[in-house]
Structure 1
Amino acid sequence: MKTLTAQMSSDGSAWRLYVVLYGVPDWPTFRWERTAPVPTVAERRRALAALGYEVAPGVVWTWTEDSQVPEDDSTAVVLIAAVTVRERDGGAA
């Protein structure tokens, strides 16, 4: 079964989760209208399911830290979580 990458990010504003689909202009996206707390794994699983995806078996979320301006480490931090996903059986994706 084909796998894709889902990412969740925040730069201090609301958290959003999206599935990366290369060559597609509008990626499936879910947005939490809060800045804290970080969405739980269960919330992320439900959001992915609403988008038609599920976390691939045996995979865990990984976290990366970046800067809003990558060449300037004094700018605000952007937190990015990523996980491998696959389409759910009967999913809309």
Structure 2
Amino acid sequence: MGDDDPIGTVDLVLVPNLTHGARPRLLAGNLVVAPEHRRRGVATALLAAAVSHAEANACYEIQLLSDGRRTTAHPLFEAAGFTANATGHTRRL
């Protein structure tokens, strides 16, 4: 990797909402850190940035999506204050 290559990324989508006082929610997904940079705080920093973005936009929640099979990532999310609370269903097209 070159010095200008990204080492991590997360997709953030601000979703307008009519409930919860018309406050939006933030969808976070595709949290990816380059293998050689894992376990160095990059994902934690990306999650903190997502929380800051949600707070700055007065969101009522952040929904973090993760494949249920990625169980090694789930303790990281829980350490960042996220709670596993839903079962998702996907239909790929």
**Which protein shows a greater Rg?**
2
Q: Which structure: greater helix fraction?
A: 2
Query: Which protein is richer in strand relative to its size?
Result: 1
Q: Taking structure 1 as the reference length, what is the TM-score of the superposition?
A: 0.31
